[in-house]
Amino acid sequence: MKKLIVFDLDGTLAESKSPLDAEMAGILHDLLGIVKVAVISGGDWPQFEKQLLFNLPHDECLANLSLLPTCGTKFFEYKSDWKKLYSEDFTADEKAKIICSLKKAVAEAGFKAEKVWGEAIEDRGSQITFSALGQQAPLKEKEKWDPDYAKRKQIKAILDPLIPGFSVRMGGATSIDVTKPGIDKAYGIRKLRALLGIPLKEMIFIGDALFPGGNDYPAEEAGVVSIPVRGPNETKPVTKAIIACLESNS
Ligand SMILES: [Mg+2]
């Protein structure tokens, strides 16, 4: 009997960078009424608020929901309001070293942008994210900047030896993420096992990037039964089927 249903957020529960639609909110609310649910994303807490919580009915069912921003380096639970259980942040020294090295690598590679929209470097506590054109850059500009990853590969090649104790990954259209090594969705899954006391074989994972190299793939590799979806419109019937099965068992 499955005891925990785990979802990716972006591209799985909601369209990219958009909030949950009303139908998905209703289905998720039904699911929360009968089983524990968790959401793991590489994004930070504000993205959870905007994409997930904003449209979800605010009631006691939320006690069944665990939220794991930045792949589980942060963990939020609901106790009449959202409470952060922990956040595995970098130390001030680590942050300073990463930020200084990022700036150096970008300058040395020759890709410092002339025009940026908002801050280029974002401190997410347990993750430092570099967005080459700034966080508020228009999508059109972002898509043009590095479609083949050539610029970021050069920056990464300079950056890697400057910060050997950290993991440097390319994501989104213009960004580079720096975390501690081994932070991926498998990390979040193991956090859920430890904190909720639910074995991997009693979990189901649902995500839109469950292919080798995709950011959901580590969850499957960790040993959780995983269901690939191509977007929220496939997540809906899958979730309804899970609800039907769990209800018939209860
Ligand atoms: Mg996704």
Q: Any idea what the CATH number is for the domain that residue 238 is in?
A: 3.40.50.1000
Residue 135 belongs to a domain with what CATH number? 3.30.1240.20
Compute the distance from residue 214 Cα to the ligand 1 centre, in Å: 9
161 and 191 inside one domain: no
pTM here is 0.84
Query: What pLDDT sits at residue 175?
Result: 87
Range of the domain at 37: 4-88+183-249
Report the run of H or E that residue 4 belongs to, with start and end.
Answer: strand 4-8
pLDDT at 82 over 70: yes
Neighbours of ion ligand 1 (CB under 5 A): 8, 10-11, 208-209
231 and 173 inside one domain: no
Compute the distance from residue 103 Cα to the ligand 1 centre, in Å: 28
Q: Residues 125-151: what's their mean pLDDT?
A: 90
Compute the distance from residue 173 Cα to the ligand 1 centre, in Å: 14
Confidence of residue 250 (pLDDT cuts 50, 70, 90): low
Confidence of residue 170 (pLDDT cuts 50, 70, 90): confident
pLDDT at 17 over 80: no
203 and 187 inside one domain: yes
* Helix/strand/coil for 32: helix
User: Could you report the per-residue pLDDT of 206-230, keeping only the tens digit for each?
Assistant: 999 998 878 899 999 999 999 999 9
Q: Which amino acid is at 156?
A: K
d(CA 208, CA 237): 14
